[in-house]
Structure 1
């Protein structure tokens, strides 16, 4: 039995729709590659899925921009307005400017200068000398700034050292005063202890050794 005819309409089932899209996308991309190789043609194919993902193919011998330019010339229709045209012109201008800057950069490096004339070489030399002078000035500024910072750091270190010396002398003075006060307290305590010991010895002396008062009147009575 032959294959039944498929009605061409939107597939409602999302899973079936995605499977069909993948199969037919691969098939049409394969056909585009085959016709490009077999028939030596310029082919550009763009497929955008419902999810917004883009798939494209362009034959190796051309680009999408080239094909669009050919389409514009043959059909007389433009696919973009003046705004996009100006944007394309601006992109081309930036590309040319970038190429020119790359050439100048190679010249400044001393590359590709064999084709330059005397005036162009003089201009490059002046530019290099001006750049070298600017770099030298900036380097000297950096060195001077570093020297100032070093001098400031040295001043701060010396100042901090003097402050530490003053603090050390002050602490030594306070310590000496405390030692002197301690010695005075010890001497006072020792003197008080001696006085207490002396009084205690006097109170404990035997009665026979005590000095008896002289009574001359007793001799007269006898």
Structure 2
């Protein structure tokens, strides 16, 4: 009797599903054991039942097999990641190279070169870009000139204030240095400043011994 082909879908009957699980689980564990013995392969098998029960088989040690699997899967992942990165770098390099070529061509056209291949519309667009650039350059230049004018005016104001302060300090110093002076004329005569009033000065002249002078003063007193 020829066995029919089993349809690969979930078995709805719980009893049939449990029986099928037990049979195929035992067959899977048997195949894993045979593979490890016949081919000298390191085999690790982990199965969880629908109820969460664990079934496992390992030809050596399950933790060592799992660790080995992790290391190999990590290397494979790194290799795939490296290959993907290389491909991405190549694509980025090609894209950047194309953009550089476009920018160089645009730069030459802005400088008035390589215009032979340009159409009328392209030339008009290029002219518009140049006018916008010139307008921005002039605007920036005027802004800088206005700032310089403001700075120069402020500098001028500070210099004027400093000059006025120095002049004021100079007048005050010259006033403090003025003193009465006695000048000599061309005839080498002493010129004394004139005074509006002359006061008489009384002097006493006494000839004789000092003691007599004192006696005379006492008598007068």
Q: Please state which structure has a larger fraction of its residues in helix.
A: 1
Q: With structure 1 as the length reference, what TM-score do the two structures score?
A: 0.45
Between Structure 1 and Structure 2, whose CA radius of gyration is higher?
Answer: 2
